[in-house]
Amino acid sequence: MKRPAMKWTPRLSQWPRRLISVSAAMLFLVLSAQAQTDAKLEPIGGPGGGQFVARCPQGQFLTGVDLRYGDDVDSIKIICVVAYGAAEVSPPVAGGEVFGGSGGGQVEKLVCPKENPVVTGMYVNAWGVDTLVVGSIGLYCGAVATTQVQRKQYDVLHSGVRTGGASATSREPMRAKGSQRCPTSLVAVGINGRSGVWLDAVGLICGVPSLTPKPAALQPPVKAVGRIKLPPADLDALAARGAAIANDDPLTAQLRNLQAEGPARRGFDIGIAAAEGQTEMGPGKQKIHDYLSPAEREGFTTAVSFSLARNKQRIAELEPRGAVIVNRDPLAVLLRNQQPAGAARQGFDIGMAAAEGQTENGPGKQRIHDSLSPAEQGGFAIAVAFSLERNRNAGLAAKGAAIAGKDPALAKARNAQEDAFYRLGFDIATGLFDDRTAGLGSLLKVRDSLSPAVKKGFDVSVELHSSRK
Summarize pLDDT for 92-145 with one digit per residue, the tens: 886 789 999 988 779 999 999 999 999 999 999 999 888 899 999 999 999 998
Do residue 62 and residue 22 come from a single domain? no
Q: Which residues are registered as beta bridge partners of 139?
A: 122, 156
Assess whether 245 and 353 both reside in one domain: no
Mean of all residue pLDDT scores within the chain:
84
For residue 459, give the 3-state DSSP assignment: helix
- The last residue of one of the domains, among 363, 391, 419, is 391
The angle formed by the CA atoms of residues 317, 321 and 325, to the nearest 5 degrees, is 160
194 and 49 within one domain: yes
Least trusted range by pLDDT, from 45-59, 66-80, 148-162, 237-251: 148-162
Per residue in 339-350, pLDDT tens?
A: 999 999 999 999
Q: Is the pLDDT of residue 170 over 50?
A: yes
* Together in a domain, 99 and 30: no
User: How does residue 392 score in pLDDT terms, banded at 50, 70 and 90?
Assistant: very high
Residues 382 and 398 in one domain: no
pLDDT > 70: percent of the chain: 85
Q: Is residue 78, in this structure, part of any structural domain at all? A: yes
CATH of the domain at 125: 2.100.10.30
At which of 364, 391, 418 does a domain end? Answer: 391
- 408-421 residues labelled b (16+ CB within 10 A) or e (exposed): eebeebbeeeebbb
Q: How far apart are CA 424 and CA 459, in angstroms?
A: 11
Tally of domains within the chain: 4
pLDDT tier at 374 (50, 70, 90 boundaries)? confident
Q: 130 in a domain, yes or no?
A: yes
Same-domain pairing of 196 and 243: no
pLDDT tens across 222-267, in order? 554 445 566 787 899 999 999 999 998 898 999 999 999 999 999 9
Q: What's residue 28's pLDDT?
A: 36
Q: What is the residue range of 349's domain?
A: 327-391
- Specify whether 152 is located in the same domain as 300: no
Burial class (CB in 10 A: 0-12, 13-18, 19+), 428: buried
Other CB atoms within 10 Å distance of the CB of residue 435: 13
Residue 162 in domain: yes
Are residues 159 and 187 located together in one domain of the fold? Answer: yes
Domain boundary (267, 290, 318) is at 318
Q: Is residue 174 over pLDDT 60? A: yes
Residues 42 and 152 grouped into a single domain? yes
Beta carbons within 8 Å of 168's beta carbon, 6+ residues apart: none
**Residue 212 belongs to a domain:** no
Residue 172's Cβ-side half-sphere holds a number of Cα atoms within 13 Å equal to 2
- Asked, for residue 214, whether it belongs to a domain, the answer is no
Q: Report d(CA 202, CA 52) in Å as an integer.
A: 9
Burial of 6 (C-beta count, 10 Å sphere; 0-12/13-18/19+): middle
Measured CA to CA, the distance from residue 3 to residue 21 in angstroms comes to 39
Residues 282 and 314 in one domain: yes
The alpha carbon of residue 134 and the mean position of all alpha carbons in its chain are separated, in whole angstroms, by 30
Task: Flag the least confident range among 72-86, 178-192, 424-438.
Answer: 424-438
Which pLDDT tens digit goes with each residue over 280-313? 778 888 999 999 999 899 999 999 989 888 888 8
- Sort 251 into a burial class: Cβ within 10 Å, 0-12 / 13-18 / 19+: middle
Separation between Cα atoms, residue 57 and residue 189, nearest integer Å: 8
Could you tell me if residue 137 is inside a domain? Answer: yes
Instruction: Supply the pLDDT for residue 277.
Output: 77
CA-wise closest residue to 98 among 90, 107, 89: 107
Q: Is 218 inside any structural domain?
A: no
Please check whether residues 19 and 118 belong to one and the same domain: no
pTM: 0.45
In a domain, 220, yes or no: no
Q: Confidence class of residue 14 from pLDDT cuts 50, 70 and 90?
A: very low
Angle between helices 250-257 and 235-247 (to 10 degrees): 120
Helix axis angle, 250-257 to 294-326, nearest 10°: 170
Q: Are residues 43 and 122 in the same domain?
A: yes
